[in-house]
Chain A
C-alpha cells in the first residue's frame, strides 16, 4: 500500500550537504506495523516528514518516489498533498506537550482535523459528537470535560492520547509515529502502545513506528527496518531481527541492551561515534565502528542484499 523507493532527502546547510536520507526503500502493507529503528540523528524522523512532504528548510527531497495507493506523493503539489495529510496518512510526534497548540482547547484541536477534511459537509454538531466518541475511543474518561481542557491541564499520557485521537480522526490508512513513547513514563508508555495495538487490530490502520528503543520494537512491531546514517542496513520480521540479527550494527544494538538479572556482564556499547552526516566516509558508513570490518568495506557503495523473504542486509559479510 505504501512503498518508498530510493528516497533521498538532503539538507543544504552552510556547512555542506547533509544526506539525511540516502536512497531509502521501504514497503508497508495494509494493516502492518513496521518499526524503524536507529540512533538519534540517523534520519528516521526526516523519512516520515518526507513521506508527507513536510521537510523543513533547509531540507529538500532530492530524489526517489513514494507510492501510496498507486500515486507518487512526491510529485504532488502542496495543495494536493493536503488531501492526504491528516486524512489518509497522519502523524504523531514525540513530545505531546509541545505538539499540541497551547492556546486552543484540545477538543477544538481534534475537531479541526475533522473540519479540514469535511468533504461530506457534516454539521458542526456532528463533528463535535465524533470528537467526543474519539476521545472515548482513545481511552479517556469524561469526554465532555476533556473537550474543554487546554493542553497544559492534561498529563503527558492524556496529551498523547489526544494526539492519537487527532491522528485517528479521519480514519487514515497509515499512522506515522515518531517516537511517541519516548517522552513518557514507562507505565504510560505501555498504555499508549496498547492503545496503538488496539487501533491496529480493530481498525486495521498500518503504523510506521520510529524509535530508538528496541524494547518497544520487540513488543509492538511485526516488521523491522534498521537505519544507520541515512540508509537502511537491515530488514526482517521482528523475530528475525531480535533473534537472528545479521548486520554488525543490529548485533551491537541488541548487545548494548542491559538485561534484568544479568549482574555479571558489562554493558557492551558500540565503540566510536555516529558519523557526521555532512562528511560520510566512503563505503560502508559503519565500518569504522565495526569489529568485522574488512578492507573492502571502505570501497564503493554497499548495496542492500536480499537474503530471504522480506529479509535484506547491507553488509559485505553476506554478499554472495
Chain B
C-alpha cells in the first residue's frame, strides 16, 4: 500500500532530524575556537564576571552530556535558545523570517520549472534543432555561473541600467499589504490589493531568476536526457500505433516516465536552493532567514546561527521527504 510506504519514509526522517541536531551540537563544540571568545569578539577588555555570566547563560559551564540534554529537550519544546544580539527567543526570530524565505524559494522553484519543463521537452523532441542547441547552451551557462554573480549582473542590467525592476527589498513601503500569511504576493491576491501585487511581483522577479537559474539548468538537462531515452522506448511506438496524436504521446506517455528520474534530481537540487538562498537574500536585501544567518554570523550571535542552520537542515530533510513521496506516486514499481 502506498500509504504505508509514505509513513515509513516519514518515520525514517525523524531519527535523521535528531541525528542532524546532534551533529550540529557536536560540531559547534569540537571545532577550534572558544564560542564565548567569538561572542566577545574583539570588544576589548571584559571582566571575568561577565565571561562567567555568559558561560552560565549558555550552559557552557555544565558537562557536555548535560548540555546535550538541555539542547535536545529544548528542541522538543521548540526552544532554540535566546539570541545574544536581540535577547529574543531564536524561534521567534526565525519564524518571522520564514514567509519571505519561503516566498522566494517557491517562486525560484516555480521559475525553474516553468523554464525547464517546456525547454527540456522540446529539446528532446526536436533534437539537434536550434531550440535544442540554444537551450543546452543556456543550460550549460546556468550551471557554470555562480548565482550571486548572476544576481548582481541582473541588478546592474535590469535595475540600474534599464531601470525596469527595483534593486532592493521586497516591496515599497507604501504598498505593503495586510498581513495574512506574510507572503506579500499571496496577501495582496487575498486582499485584492492589486498595486501591492504588482509591486511585490516586481521585487520578486530578479531574485527568483538568480536563485532559480542554476536549478533550471540542471532540471532542463536531466529532463531532456530522460525524454530522449524514453522517446526511444517501445511503449512510445506502441502509443503511436494506437493512433494517439503526437501531443498525447509526448505529454501523457513519454513525460510521465521521463519525470521519474527528473524528480529525483530536483530533490537533490533543493539543497542548492536553500543554500543559495542565503546569498541571494543578502544581495537583494531580502529580509529572510538567509540574511538573518549571514548577519548573525558577523554578529557572533551563535544561538541564532545554530537554530537557523538546524532549521535549514530540517527543511532540507522535509523537502526531500516530499520529493520522495512524489516519486512514490510517479513510479508504480516501488509500491511493493
Contacts and interface: CB of A to CB of B under 8 A. Distances in A.
Q: Is there any pair of Cβ atoms, one from A and one from B, under 8 angstroms apart in the complex?
A: yes
Interface of A: 49, 52, 54, 56, 78-79, 82-87, 90-91, 93, 95, 98-104, 112-113, 116-117, 150, 152-153, 163, 166
B243 interface: yes
A112 B244 contact: yes
Nearest to A97: B234
B237 interface: yes
Given A102-B332, A103-B256, A54 B241 contact: yes
A101 B255 CA distance: 11
Contacts of A91: 238, 241
A112 B233 CA distance: 18
A116 B243 contact: yes
B97 interface: no
Nearest to B257: A103
Given A91-B238, A116-B244, 7 more contacts: A87-B243, A93-B238, A95-B234, A99-B238, A102-B235, A102-B332, A152-B332
Interface string B207-224: 000000000000000000
A32 to B, nearest CB: 21
Given A95-B234, A103-B257, A83 B333 contact: no
20 contacts: A52-B240, A52-B241, A54-B237, A56-B237, A85-B241, A86-B241, A86-B242, A87-B243, A91-B241, A98-B233, A98-B235, A101-B238, A101-B253, A101-B257, A102-B333, A103-B256, A112-B242, A116-B242, A163-B238, A166-B238
Contacts of A104: 256
A108 B233 CA distance: 19
A103 B244 contact: no
Contacts of A102: 235, 257, 332-333
Given A78-B246, A86-B242, A86-B243, A103 B331 contact: yes
A150 B243 contact: no
A151 to B, nearest CB: 9
Contact of A85 (B243, B253, B256, B336): B243
B330 interface: yes
Contact of A150 (B233, B234, B330, B332): B332
